[in-house]
Amino acid sequence: MAARIIDRIKYCLQSVFVSQSVWQRINRPVYHPITKHFLRQLKGNRSGPPVIAVALLAALLLLLAVARAYGSVGSSVIWLLPLWLLLHSLICSGRWIYRIVSLISRQGRDGVLDEVSVIPPGRVFIYLAICKVVLHEEDALGWVTMLRKIAGGIVLVALAMPILVTLNSLETVDTSRLMLLLAELSLLSLVIIQEHKQSVVLLSLLPMALSRKLKGQIDGTCLVLVCYAVLQLLSFLIAIAGPATIKAIAPRYQFAVDMAAIGLAMTLALFLLIREVFIWSLWRTVLHQTNAESGVLRHSTHAGKPIRARALGSRVH
């Protein structure tokens, strides 16, 4: 009974935080037999530098830009953290989007998607398998994820050390202020890691949601890239506008809000929340278009289930 209750709670949380559920599926290694078919197609269409090399170069350039911006605006540059992260994700995502769009459009031309539409979860299974193959090519996703985790740890340590040094020199400490600072530091580190996961989920779900419009590789890639950039920019603008709006309307309704204290934490939290709403909407769109069940993530991409591979017949082997 307890196990069923726990499983139900986990399922409810997965339904709310769709990005984490999709991320767990995408981030698993590729073992299913059908992926051999997609890997052969990828090997015949390799071009451009490795994703990890692009990610490292982009991180270095953005680090230099942040250092220069810090010299101009000081600590206020931390408010632009979501923007720096979005730029890094956008630079790294171009090749992934192109290859995912290419594989999805090719399966549509070859009739693979029509063949598996009769098998639950059908197209969703194919879409997720394609994303996993592309993202795990040359272990790119693992390396980029590790890079973000390292960056998050460095930021946490770099910002926490001056605070700890300052605390040692103070006779009295404002406990509430200290807890707020620690919460902001933790949230900063979380955003650096979580933004990457949400961006990967977004770039995976967008080709699925727009699959009916992906007629050609170049046109389809441009369409997905534009939608991806718009969603990323909207999430940043809404996150920045939220605290500013509350600060503007607070006097009208006669309630006091210390935006200097909670503004940054509110911006970061709103940034993650808005992106979660976008991801939930895209996932519901994918399920609606493919007539899939809402619990498809719990059973759609388990490794070693050969029924989907057999459905593709000779295309897999």
> Which tens digit of pLDDT belongs to each residue from 270-294?
999 999 999 999 998 988 887 765 5
Whole-angstrom CA distances from 71 to 67, 68, 112, 143, 162 are 6, 5, 55, 31, 18
Q: Residue 115 sits in which domain range? A: 21-294
Residue 5 in domain: no
**pLDDT over 70 for what percent of the chain?**
71
Tell me, yes or no, whether 44 lies in a domain.
yes
List, for residues 210-228, the tens digit of each pLDDT value. 887 777 778 888 889 999 9
Type of residue at 127 = Y
What lies within 8 Å, CB to CB, of 250 at 6+ separation is 256, 257
Rounded to whole angstroms, the Cα distance separating 30 from 142 reads 12
Residue 299 lies in a domain: no
Domain count, the chain: 1
For 317, the token pair is 């082997």
Residue 220, pLDDT score: 83
Residue 229 confidence class, pLDDT cut points 50, 70, 90: very high
Does residue 300 lie in a domain region?
no
pLDDT band (50, 70, 90) for residue 306: very low
Percent residues over pLDDT 90 in the chain: 15
What is the C-alpha to C-alpha distance for residues 196 and 82, in angstroms, rounded to an integer?
Answer: 11
Domain assignment of residue 312, yes or no: no
pLDDT, mean of residues 56-61: 88
For residue 235, what pLDDT is reported? 92
Q: Round to whole Å and give the CA distance between 19 and 195.
A: 10
Q: What is the maximum span of the chain, computed from C-alpha positions, in angstroms?
A: 75
Q: Is residue 10 part of a domain?
A: no
Using CA atoms, how far apart are residues 85 and 196, in angstroms rounded to an integer? Answer: 8
What average pLDDT does the segment 126-148 reach? 88
In a domain, 302, yes or no: no
Residue 28: DSSP 8-state: S
What average pLDDT score do residues 240-268 get?
A: 71
Read off the tokens for 200.
């990967």
- Confirm whether 80 is domain-assigned: yes
